[in-house]
Structure 1
Amino acid sequence: MYVLGIETSCDETAVAIYHAKKGLIAHTLHSQILTHNEYGGVVPELASRDHVRKLIPLINQVLLESRINASAINGIAYTAGPGLMGALLVGATTARSLAWAWQKPAIAVHHMEGHLLAPMLEEQSPEFPFVALLISGGHTLLIEVSGVGQYCLLGESLDDAAGEAFDKTAKLLGLDYPGGPALSNLASQGKPRFKFPRPMTDRPGLDFSFSGLKTFTLNTYNTSNQAQQDKADIAFAFQQAMAETLAIKCKRALHQTSLSRLVVAGGVSANQEIRRQLEQMCEKSGAQIFFPRPEFCTDNGAMIAYAGCLRLQAGQTQGLEIFARPRWPMNELLNL
């Protein structure tokens, strides 16, 4: 079974082809970083227009790279949410139209389920059950995963998501968009001079809150000399606090569920300090940890094609309706 995967949830247009037995056949991605850089963040209307321009050429590109034609495609998977509504509609309408024209089944894929399953694309992939930490620009979730569609929410962010906190902190330090990688790069030049709080780790529970950490960072910056080394030291302290907070919560989740496997995915999972601290925690706890490769941490078509393939193989399809949801709780997904 060849599945075409389409991802247009935010500011990256991505397409991939996945085969049920052969694995990932081809994938490509167009980033809109340069488009949104001058605005310091994603402009939804510009994102949607860029998806319209880039999506069909990218689909043609992966078909060419795969050396197959449209008639060989057995199904089409597309990101239906959560995300920016205009951006989601570009992918949904294109996927639904191609499915109708090619007389193929289509399946709507949950964006975060795609991230959660991305480590399955690696040679050493996790077995069910496991705890998943999903950290991205819009989400921070801890989930107990028993199988595809079998998700129990353990904890989530009560305010800013991890990636959002990175981006906002980078902006207050005067760094360019995208803020997360810029802050991480600046932190590599910092020294352990400041001690930032580890939010909500002094009480039981698995929820997160990063708004206070962001405020603490702002206050520290305002009372500093605001020199370049001050910025680097503050970035270092912020990143350390974020990484340690995530590690503490993941350790609790593993203990609470009595599981020994941790999957970490989403754009923020590419951060090297976060990876280091989570790996160190798992090593001490006797747990295994799994990450997707860096190119599959951020939004990509491969994870959508893979997740869609699993659901199409299970017999799930959709009618002719164009389905897109900017908000879509994972507990509403069907259990395979």
Structure 2
Amino acid sequence: MTVLGIESSCDETAAAVWSDGSILSNIIASQAIHEQFGGVVPELASRAHHKTIWKTVNQALEEAQVSLDEIDAIAVAQGPGLMGSLLVGLSFAKGLSISQEKPIIGVNHIDAHMYANFIEHEEVYPFLALIVSGGHTRLVHVDKLFSHNVLGKTRDDAAGEAFDKIGKLLNLDYPAGPVIDKLSKKGDPGFHDFPRSMINKGLDFSFSGLKTSVLYYTQEKGDAFVQEHLNDICASVSGAITDVLQVKLKRGVKKTGVKNIMLAGGVSANSMLRDKVGMMAQKMGLNLMIPSSQYCTDNAAMIAVTGALKAREGHYDDLHIKPFARLQES
């Protein structure tokens, strides 16, 4: 089985080739145009996808040394995401499906973040996945392939969204998550005790209160203080977010009794989160799966591998599939 994966759900135009259990190529074209706005501008994102998608797919095929004739199926991100961006990728995939007479497979972008772990780790079930990205934070119990039970989700901001919004308050470049992570390594997580909302309650998440707390704190202390102690503030913010994530994951493990856990999504690249969850897994004797950094953020390799798993189960789609902007429970 050789699968071409296409990802265009937000501001990354990506294509990858998966063949017989291995990723042969994984090309990502990032859109730098959004940096000046401090966030993704949907119309600009869709235009950029139009300009780069064919070039990106071509590059992925060339690097994999695979022709379109050798592709068995085309997997494409169907949602959630920006509707204009999704339409570009899905329309392109449909065009390829028609012209090359290849089956098409729609892939849930959030599911793909989870199954990206199986690019480098053995496929095992059941598992508990902590999905942490710019738009989603959720705890999902998976008892078998594509059988998902959402145990907890954010009630407001996602973890990645909190990092980016707080980064904007601190005048950091967008996207701020990786910047905060880098600065945190030089700071003291105990410098300031920011709130850890709902840490002692259930499996749902809330990060909007943290954002507000950082706003009031920086306004009170002033720009000079913030710049002088930027590393410590970033470390304290990271500490607050990752503490909540780790505690909820641990609570989910105790609730389900699973022995396999995974991190998924862009925030799973956060070094503090990886360290905390790694220590927890070691103490509890758990099998921990975390993707390499290249498979944490939006990429097409995760679309391709999830498409291959769906094809294995006989789950194909037709040309009537439509994109969806909001998450559909699977």
Q: Please report the TM-score for the alignment, with normalisation by the length of structure 2.
A: 0.96
Question: Which shows bigger deviation, 55-64 or 97-106?
Answer: 55-64
1:142 is aligned to: 139
1:58-77 alignment runs, 5 A limit: 58-77=56-75
- Post-superposition CA distance 1:123-158 (Å, at most 9, x none): x33511010000000000100011221000100000
Task: Compare 281-290 and 132-141 and name the one that shifted more.
Answer: 281-290
Q: CA contact under 8 A between 1:166 and 1:183: conserved in structure 2?
A: yes
Once residues 154 and 48 of structure 1 are traced to their aligned partners in structure 2, the CA distance between those partners, rounded to angstroms, is 33
SS in 2 for 1:245: helix
Contact 2:106 2:321 in 1 (8 A): no
Q: Identify unmatched segments of 5+ residues in structure 2.
A: none
CA distance in 2, matches of 1:146, 1:214: 34
Q: Is the 8 A contact 1:193 1:233 kept in 2?
A: yes
Distance 2:177 2:7 in 1: 21
Q: Which residue of 1 aligns with 2:13?
A: 13
Partner SS for 2:37: coil
Task: Give the 5 Å matches for 1:112-131.
Answer: 112-122=110-120, 124-131=121-128
Q: How many residues align?
A: 327
The amino acid across from 1:87 in the alignment is S
The aligned counterpart of 1:31 is 30
CA shift for structure 1 position 289: 1.1
1:104-136 deviations in Å (ceiling 9; x for gaps): 1001000011101011000x3351101000000
Shift of 1:22: 4.3
Residue of 77, 80, 84 corresponding to 2:78: 80
Q: In the alignment, does 2:215 pair up with 1:218?
A: yes
Counterparts of 1:153 and 1:79 in 2: how far apart (Å)? 20
* 1:195 Cα offset (Å): 1.2
Q: What's the counterpart of residue 295 of structure 1?
A: 294
Distance 1:199 1:18 in 2: 40
Structure 1 residue 322: Cα displacement: 4.4
Q: Is the contact between residue 17 and residue 26 of structure 1 (CA under 8 Å) also seen in structure 2?
A: yes
Q: 1:41 aligns with which of 29, 39, 53?
A: 39
Moved more, 269-278 or 307-316: 307-316
The CA RMSD measured in Å over matched residues stands at 1.2
Indicate which of 177, 184, 187 corresponds to 1:190. 187
Q: Which residue pairs with 1:334 in the alignment? A: none
Q: 1:160 aligns with which of 157, 161, 167?
A: 157
1:82-121 matches, within 5 Å, as 82-121=80-119
Q: Is the 8 A contact 1:71 1:102 kept in 2?
A: yes
Contact 1:14 1:30 in 2 (8 A): yes
SS across alignment from 1:330:
coil
2:142 is equivalent to residue 170 of structure 1: no
Residues 170-227 of structure 1 deviation map (CA, whole Å, 9 limit, x = unaligned): 0011111111112222222323321122210123x10000011111111111121433
Deviation larger for 278-287 or 222-231: 222-231
Q: Answer whether contact 1:96 1:322 (CA < 8 A) is retained.
A: no
Whole-Å Cα distance in 1 between the matches of residues 212 and 315 of structure 2?
A: 45
Give the fraction of aligned pairs with identical amino acids, expressed as a percent: 43
Q: Is the 8 A contact 1:126 1:263 kept in 2?
A: no
* Structure 1: segments with no counterpart, 5+ residues: 332-336
Q: Which residue of 2 aligns with 1:326?
A: 325
| SS of residue paired to 1:127 | coil
Q: How does 1:177-326 map to 2 (within 5 A)?
A: 177-191=174-188, 192-203=190-201, 205-226=202-223, 227=225, 228-326=227-325
Q: Look up the equivalent residue of 1:188 and give its one-letter code.
A: K
Q: Which runs of 4+ in 1 moved over 3 A?
A: none
Structure 1 residue 280: deviation in Å? 1.2
Query: 1:9-63: CA deviations, max 9, x gaps?
Result: 00101101111x242121211111x211111110111110111111101111122
Deviations 1:225-282 (A, max 9, x none): 4331233222111100111111110000000001121110100000101111111122
SS at match of 2:231: helix
Instruction: Give the alignment's TM-score, normalised by structure 1.
Output: 0.94
